[in-house]
């Protein structure tokens, strides 16, 4: 069985590249586990980021789902700045 810290590390590793790319554009990416194997991804715009400049939700869902493929988790949903 995988511990919570190992799972957190796996999720951090899976999303690191995208999180770093988002940070360079002024966004913050965070995640939380919901249920046993589902992940909610939250993207927040910083002061210099354009909240309306993100890719459409279906594209974002594909990117995040693909990033989670090497983990035991699946995407639950994404919260984008324009959807809050």
How much is the pTM? 0.83
* pLDDT tens over the chain, length 84 residues: 345 566 788 899 999 999 998 898 899 999 999 988 999 999 999 988 886 778 889 999 999 999 999 999 999 999 988 654
> Domain limits of the chain?
4-83
Domain 4-83 has CATH 3.90.1490.10: no
Reduce the secondary structure of the chain to three states and give it as a string: CCCHHHHHHHHHHHHHHHHHHHHHCCEEEEEEEECCCEEEEEEEECCCCCHHHCCCHHHHHHHHHHHHCCCCCEEEEEECHHHC
Q: Is 77 exposed, middle or buried (0-12, 13-18, 19+ CB in 10 A)?
A: middle
């Amino acid at each position: 069985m995988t511990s919570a810290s190992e799972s957190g590390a796996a999720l951090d590793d899976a999303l690191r590249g995208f999180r770093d790319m988002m940070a360079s554009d002024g966004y913050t990416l965070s995640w939380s586990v919901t249920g046993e194997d589902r992940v909610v991804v939250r993207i927040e715009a910083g002061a210099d980021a354009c909240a309306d400049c993100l890719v459409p939700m279906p594209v974002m869902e594909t990117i995040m789902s693909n990033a989670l493929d090497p983990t035991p988790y699946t995407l639950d949903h994404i919260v984008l700045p324009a959807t809050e």
